[in-house]
Amino acid sequence: MVEHLSQGRRPYLLLLALALMFFLPGLVNLPPIDRDESRFAQASRQMLESGDFVRINFQAESRAKKPVGIYWMQAASAGLTQAESAIWAYRLPSVLGALAAVVFTFHFGRRLFGAPAALTGAALLTASLILIAEAHQAKTDAMLLACITAAQGVLGQFYLAQSGGNCRRPGQSAILLFWLAQGIGILIKGPIVPLISLLTLASLWAADRRIRWLTGIRPFSGLLLVAAIVAPWFAAVTSATQGQFIGQAVKSDLLPKLLGAQESHGAPPGYFLLLATATLWPAAMFAFPGLIRAFQTRQAASLRFCLAWILPAWLLFELVPTKLPHYILPTYPPLALLAGLIVTTGDDILKSGWARLFYCLSAAVGLLLAGGAMILPLLYGDGPGWFAGLAACGALIAAIAPAVLAWRQKYQGAVVAAIGGALLCFGCIYQGVLPQLDSLWLSQRVVAHLEPGTPLVAAGFHEPSLVFLGGTATLLTDGKSAAHFLAATPKAVAVVEAEALADFSAEMAALGHPVQQIAQVNGYNYSRGRTARLSLWRE
């Protein structure tokens, strides 16, 4: 059956439909997520508001964290859809990036391992927890993955062409794609795409002691193209900020991540290995047995290339002190392809103790997801409803059925069960469970009490989602300054966190301005890991 589905245009249409079913639910009704997504979306909206597409700002603060690529894409998406105030408009580039990553995984994967294995691997990547999460957030990582998969896919073609296999040497369009992916990737997240490619090349050179197979990639004209993509904005932002942007990016973002655990996101080496069973779920049950088999039989050129893509990048991310779950995402396309390979060939490693261990671990992750789908609405919502029940059923299906089928050596059936269960689980979680966790969406509940255009000041509660939903002019300050703003601004509303309430009330009394409380919003601030009690005041 996989052989039939993997011929002609069918696999592309199948993957497109599958990806949309995974990536679109919840895109519109999931509120802005703190903190990174809301910062990205707000900075992109300010480009549209100001007409300044060179400098990146969050309110009046320079946001020298990432280059401009994703902000341009988000601003273009919001502008074209005329939905500048809607978070879904800023998420569309992430959806497109995730779609492209899936398509590139199949397109180049079929050159490595054949169409059936590539289709299976790409479908498993589509269903993975971390890619679905990134497709639902207005951030860099889904589009970055598309650039990495495109660039690495072309490198893989070059490497296989010299091995005497059936893979043809890349043509001019593929070489152009490689350099475009490098340039766009640099504009999205700095050196990550070139770094992954260089690590892969260095590993292959160390293993083979030859690099002549790369002849024909046109480095001179390619680097000129990369410079043409990247240099104009770098020159413009350097001029506009008197050279401060690059220095701030290195000092405030790059070096802190390399030298320490930035913003408390630290973990010891081995963190990603422990977490991967969850972030690559449900594909992890086959991906890691596939990785073990690839290492055992690494003489094949396609396997050597995947190992050179995965292992040095993984080691680097494990060694960097700052760790976030999505950092390891660039290694997941080749891992998914290795999973597809052993499933479609029925490799004997799937009968091993290693494989059965991962079947059990995958089942445990599914059981945890099922429990989470039922417990989270009890803690942060109005209790579990139909969506929570269906999500839990989907998670149970993806937990138990694939493990049982794989144990019985029905591996392709296990993949179908895993993807089907994950589709039901994630679709219901994003469409109906997460948006109903009202205790978590404090900013949305605050803004629901306001008339459009109401001047807003916040004391103590400084989450970026409040700025995105309340407007760029939202003032984030302390209790005393909030009192002065409220006293001086007609029809303004102050959002005061409990810890700032005493200062706010005392200052309002000292100013001689009576205030009235118009609402109370209590919940849980997940960014700070504690409960929040917000009161809304106006004169």
- Which string of DSSP letters, residue by residue, matches 367-419? HHHHHHHHHHHHHHSS---HHHHHHHHHHHHHHHHHHHHHHTT-HHHHHHHHH
432: exposed, middle or buried (Cβ count in 10 Å: 0-12, 13-18, 19+)? buried
| CA atoms of 74 and 94, how far apart (whole Å) | 9
The yes-or-no verdict on residue 250 having pLDDT over 80 is no
Q: Which residues lie across from 534 on neighbouring strands?
A: 497, 521
Q: Which of 42, 313, 21 is nearest to 155 (CA)?
A: 313
Q: Which of 447, 497, 494, 453 is nearest to 475 (CA)?
A: 494
Q: Which of 464, 458, 474 is nearest to 39 (CA)?
A: 464
What are the structural domain ranges in the chain? 2-252+275-347, 354-438, 441-538
Global pTM value: 0.95
| CA atoms of 202 and 476, how far apart (whole Å) | 48
CATH architecture of the domain covering 441-538: 3-Layer(aba) Sandwich (3.40)
Overall size of the chain counted in residues: 539
| CA atoms of 21 and 16, how far apart (whole Å) | 9
Tokens for 335, please give them. 């891992």
Q: Which of 395, 397, 373 is nearest to 385 (CA)?
A: 373
What pLDDT sits at residue 439? 97
Residue 5: band (very low, low, confident or very high) from pLDDT cuts 50, 70, 90: confident
What pLDDT sits at residue 257? 55
For 440-489, the pLDDT digits (tens) are 999 999 999 999 999 999 999 999 999 999 999 999 999 999 999 999 99
What are the DSSP E strand ranges found in 101-209? none
For 385-420, the pLDDT digits (tens) are 999 999 999 999 999 999 999 999 999 999 999 999
Residue 246: band (very low, low, confident or very high) from pLDDT cuts 50, 70, 90: confident
Is 187:229 a contact under the CB 8 Å cutoff?
yes
Tokens for 88, please give them. 């879904």
The residue-averaged pLDDT of 338-345 equals 97
Segment among 169-173, 229-233, 494-498 with least mean pLDDT: 169-173
The yes-or-no verdict on residue 144 having pLDDT over 80 is yes
| CA atoms of 282 and 389, how far apart (whole Å) | 19
Q: Which of 20-29, 265-274, 319-328 has the highest mean pLDDT?
A: 20-29
| CA atoms of 323 and 331, how far apart (whole Å) | 15
